[in-house]
């Protein structure tokens, strides 16, 4: 099975939600839609499901135009961030409901419901009604119902957002195996770059209704085509600073000047923007071959295993991540250090001109 969006546009009250999107989804693939709120992720899912009709463009399934065909005539299952269950049915019957509609034998229904319940830690709750469950348990019920349906296209719109941290991490690790075993097309929407990386597969980076870049998740993360893609695929937010390359040296906005080594050495003279993720910014003193800036601590967030140090430098806000617990009081001055071989360099239009490990 192959599903395609061909030059699809979707407008609501004259306001474009999707802008000229083309996308191909193949059987047996996991496709992550990554972008902030209002980037168009849910709009694309609704078009794929047949819940909405595009303003222009076509939706194709195995080459057949299904634009406008009702969702009930498509092999689709969808799970939303806000769980939807039948309040008058037990957890068991909620999960079993699509199988009963399909007329499956009782033994098969029982087997598949119990397998899904085991996977999603719902076995103790099969006889309960949805209103007797926590929010997380209700969301797991909705996910289980989608998985047992056996649809060719499974759409998951931020399905783990309402689960507790421990279960969310367990399911993130388990879902790729489920996806691979099912043979269906999975489309998973998230605002979290870390979730896209954990799930793997293929990532489609979105911004304001447009697809910025699509490809193997690890490749899109390591080699963004543009500054915007790097920003979408960075959490904490991407650190950015302007530079000017001139006569073998590089001058950063704010006055720091250094020899143009590393990725800077191959740049033509001119102005650029440099982007670097939190883990690419070091807090150290006197590191040979690195470019150092004095920065002031504004706040330190300690998660337990990591510390996120927020810095202010020349009216710019940067973030560095350190392993372990580090406590720096607000106002403390540190040396923020960049390795010129470990940054992204973008031209004035935002296109990437150099990146770490680029071939």
What confidence category does residue 358 fall into, taking pLDDT thresholds of 50, 70 and 90?
low
The total of other beta-carbon atoms located within 10 Å of residue 42's CB is 20
Is CATH 3.40.50.300 the right assignment for the domain spanning 2-226?
yes
Reading the block at residue 268, the tokens are 């033509």
Whether 218 has a pLDDT exceeding 60, the answer reads: yes
- 334-348 pLDDT per residue, tens: 999 999 999 999 999
Intervals of CATH 2.40.50.140 along the chain: 239-354
Average pLDDT, the chain: 91
Q: What is the homologous superfamily of the domain 239-354 according to CATH?
A: Nucleic acid-binding proteins (2.40.50.140)
CA–CA separation, 100 vs 61, rounded Å?
26
CA–CA separation, 323 vs 330, rounded Å?
19
| Among 42, 47, 37, residue whose Cα is nearest residue 10 | 47
CA–CA separation, 226 vs 160, rounded Å?
29
The total of other beta-carbon atoms located within 10 Å of residue 55's CB is 14
Burial grade of 188 (CB within 10 A; 0-12, 13-18, 19 or more): buried
Q: Give backbone dihedrals phi and psi of 350, rounded to 5 degrees, phi first.
A: 95, 5
Which secondary-structure segment (H or E) carries 26? Answer: strand 15-26
Reading the block at residue 316, the tokens are 């710019």
Which secondary-structure segment (H or E) carries 338? Answer: strand 333-338
- 152-191 pLDDT per residue, tens: 999 999 888 777 777 788 777 777 877 777 778 999 999 9
CA–CA separation, 202 vs 216, rounded Å?
4
The total of other beta-carbon atoms located within 10 Å of residue 181's CB is 9
- 85-136 pLDDT per residue, tens: 999 999 999 999 999 999 999 999 999 999 889 888 899 999 999 999 988 7
- Across 137-141, 241-245, 285-289, 330-334, least confident range: 285-289
pTM of the model: 0.90
- Residue 262 is classified by DSSP as G
**Number of residues assigned to the chain:** 359
Beta strand pairing status for 185-190 and 153-157?
Answer: parallel
- Structure confidence at residue 262 (pLDDT): 92
- Structure confidence at residue 249 (pLDDT): 95
Instruction: Judge contact between 188 and 170, C-beta under 8 A.
Output: no
Intervals of CATH 3.40.50.300 along the chain: 2-226
- Structure confidence at residue 359 (pLDDT): 45
- Across 80-94, 153-167, 231-245, 297-311, least confident range: 153-167
């Amino acid at each position: 099975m192959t599903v395609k969006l061909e030059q699809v546009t979707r407008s609501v009250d004259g306001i474009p939600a999707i802008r000229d999107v083309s996308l191909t989804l193949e059987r047996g693939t996991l496709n992550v839609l990554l972008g902030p709120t209002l980037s168009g992720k849910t709009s694309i899912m609704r078009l794929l499901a047949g819940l909405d009709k595009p303003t222009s463009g076509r939706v194709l399934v195995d080459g057949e135009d299904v634009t406008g065909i009702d969702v009930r005539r498509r092999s689709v299952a969808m799970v939303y961030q806000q769980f939807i269950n039948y309040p008058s049915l037990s957890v068991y019957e909620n999960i079993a409901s699509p199988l009963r509609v399909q007329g499956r034998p009782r033994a098969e229904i029982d087997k598949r419901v119990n397998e899904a319940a085991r996977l999603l830690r719902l076995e103790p709750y099969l006889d309960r009604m949805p209103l007797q469950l926590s929010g997380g348990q209700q969301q797991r019920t909705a996910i289980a119902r989608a998985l047992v349906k056996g649809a060719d296209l499974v759409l998951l719109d931020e399905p783990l957002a309402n689960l507790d941290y421990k279960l969310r991490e367990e399911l993130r690790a388990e879902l790729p195996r489920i996806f691979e075993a099912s043979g269906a097309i999975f489309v998973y929407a998230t605002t979290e770059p870390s979730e896209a990386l954990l799930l793997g597969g293929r990532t489609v980076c979105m911004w304001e209704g447009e697809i910025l870049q699509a490809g193997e998740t690890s490749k899109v993360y390591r080699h963004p085509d543009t500054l915007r893609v790097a920003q979408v695929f960075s959490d904490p937010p991407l650190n950015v600073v302007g530079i000017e390359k001139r006569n073998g040296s590089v001058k950063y906005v704010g006055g720091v000047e250094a020899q143009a080594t590393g990725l800077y050495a191959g740049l033509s003279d001119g102005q650029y923007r440099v982007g670097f993720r939190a883990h690419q910014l070091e807090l150290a003193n006197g590191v040979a071959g690195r470019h150092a800036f004095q920065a002031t601590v504004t706040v330190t967030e300690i998660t337990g295993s990591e510390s996120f140090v927020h810095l202010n430098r020349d009216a710019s806000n940067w973030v560095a991540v350190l392993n372990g617990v580090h406590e720096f009081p607000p106002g403390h001055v540190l040396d923020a250090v960049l390795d010129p071989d470990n940054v992204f360099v973008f031209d004035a239009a935002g296109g990437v001109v150099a990146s770490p490990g680029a071939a």
